[in-house]
Amino acid sequence: MIRGSSALKSLTNRRLYSTGVKFTSLSNGITVASELDPNAKSSSVGLYFGAGSRSEHLHCNGISALTANVLASQPAKGSLLTSRNDKEFNGVIAQTTNDNVIEAGKLIASIGSNALDIAEKADLTSQKQQLIAQANFVENDPKSKVLSHLYSSAFQGYSLALPTLGTAGSIANLENQDSLRHLAKHLVNHNTVIAASGNFDHDRLVEALESNLKIAEGVKPDVKPASFLGSEVRMRDDTLPKAYFSIAVQGEGLQSPQYHVAKVAAAVYGDFYLHSPFAKYTSPKLASIVQEYNIVESYNHFSKSFSDTGVWGYYAEIANKFTIDDFVHFSLKQWNRLSISVSEAEVARAKAQVKTALLREATGSEAIATNIAKQLLLVGHRESVRESIAAIDAITVNDVKEWGKSKVWDRDIVISGTGLIEDLFDYNRNRNEMAMLRW
C-alpha cells in the first residue's frame, strides 16, 4: 500500500482553506463567480465568453484570439491586463492587488460594455503581427507543432481541428468587421461569465459590475459535436535533431463522468525524462523498460479534454531514430495491460499524482479564475477541489480496467510526428499493436 505524502497533505490543507465559490446573477443575466482566499496576495477579475477557435471557420481562423488580444490591449491603471485564448473560450483578465479589485472590476466592465466600439476603432496591424509571431512559434516548436496537428488530424472536418491562434495566412486576412461579427455573436449575456479570485468582498465587486457592465442579450451559440477519426499526419524534417511524435486515442470530454478515470489512466504510465536525476526512480513499468533498452529520451502521457470529447495518449522525443518502433511497440503493449493487469499499487500511485497535479494547477488567482470560468462555460457548473479529490479517491482498479477496455483496447489511434520520423512505421502496423492475441 502506498502511503500518502505529507507534502501533499500540507498542500491540500492550505489550498482548501479558500471559502468556496460564490455565485451571483446580475440583472442582465450574467453570472459573477468568485473564489475568496484569505491567503491570496493578489486578485484577478476576468471577463470570459464561450468562443475560441472552435467557434471559427477556416477563413476566419484566429479571429477569437485576435479580438481578445485587442480587448486586453486597453490602458489599465493599477492592473495588468492579459488575454486568455483557448479552443472553446476567450478571456480578458485584470490582475491587481486585493485593495484594487473594485477598480479592476470596473475596468473589465468597461471593456465588456464597449467591446464593439473598441474592436471597430482598433488598428489591427500590430496585433496581427504579434499573433502571427505566436502562431509561427507554435509551428516552429516541435512539441507544440506535433500536438496542434494531432488535434487537427483527430477532429479533421470540424472546427475543433482549427489551430487555437490561427495560421499566419488566416490571421493576415482578418479585418475589423470580422471582430465585430464575432463579438456580436459570442459576447452575449448567456455566453459570458465574470470570474474572480483573491482576497476581496464579493458583494462589492457585484455592485460595481451591476452598475457598469452592459452586454447585449443573446443565447449561447450551438456547438457542433466533433467526431474522432483514426488518422495520421507526418511532417518529416531530417534537419531536426530528434523524432518528435504523439499517439493517442479518443479521450473523455469535460462533461464525461469518466473524466477523472481517464486522468488516472494516463498517470498510470506517467512521464519520463532520461536526463533527470530521478529517472532511475521513476515507478511505472514502461519507464523501467525504456531505461533497460535505452530507447527513448522523454515521454509524457496526457488526457486532454474539450467540452464533449478529448484525446488520451502520449508525446515522445527520441534521439536515436532506429529505436522509434521499439518504443512504440513497448508503449502500446503497456496500453494493452491497462485492460488486463493494471495493479492496485499502480492505480494508487496514479491517483496520488493526479491529485497533486490538480492542487498544483489550482494556485494563483488568474489560474483559479480561469478554471472557474472554463467549467461554467463548458460544463455548466463548477466542481470544487474537494469534489474532484473525492471523485478521484473513489476510482477503483476495476474502473480503470473497464475504461481501458472501452476506450483503449483495439481502438483507432491518431498519430502526429515531425523530425527524424523515417522509422515511425505505417499506421496499420501501429494500429495492430492496440490489441493482443489471447488464448
Strands (E), 1-42: 21-25, 31-36
Q: Is the pLDDT of residue 293 over 60?
A: yes
Domains plus CATH for the chain? Answer: 22-211 (3.30.830.10), 231-433 (3.30.830.10)
Q: What is the pLDDT of residue 14?
A: 36
Q: What is the pLDDT of residue 438?
A: 61
The overall pTM is greater than 0.85:
yes
Q: Is the pLDDT of residue 242 over 80?
A: yes
Average pLDDT score over the chain: 94
Q: Is the pLDDT of residue 254 over 80?
A: yes
Give the 3-state secondary structure of residue 272.
strand
The model's pLDDT over 88-102, given as tens digits with 9 standing for 90+, comes to 999 999 999 999 999
Tell me how crowded residue 133 is: count the other CB atoms within 10 A of its CB.
Answer: 12
Task: Give whole-number Cα distances, 274 to 41, 59, 200, 266, in Å.
Answer: 37, 42, 45, 19
Q: What is the pLDDT of residue 264?
A: 98
Q: Is the pLDDT of residue 390 over 60?
A: yes
Helix axes 259-269, 385-393, angle to 10 degrees: 70
Q: What is the pLDDT of residue 349?
A: 97
Quick one: pLDDT band at residue 437, thresholds 50, 70, 90?
confident
**Residue 249: in which H helix or E strand, if any?**
strand 243-250
φ, ψ for residue 192 (rounded to 5)? -130, 140
User: Residues 313, 229: contact at Cβ < 8 Å?
Assistant: no
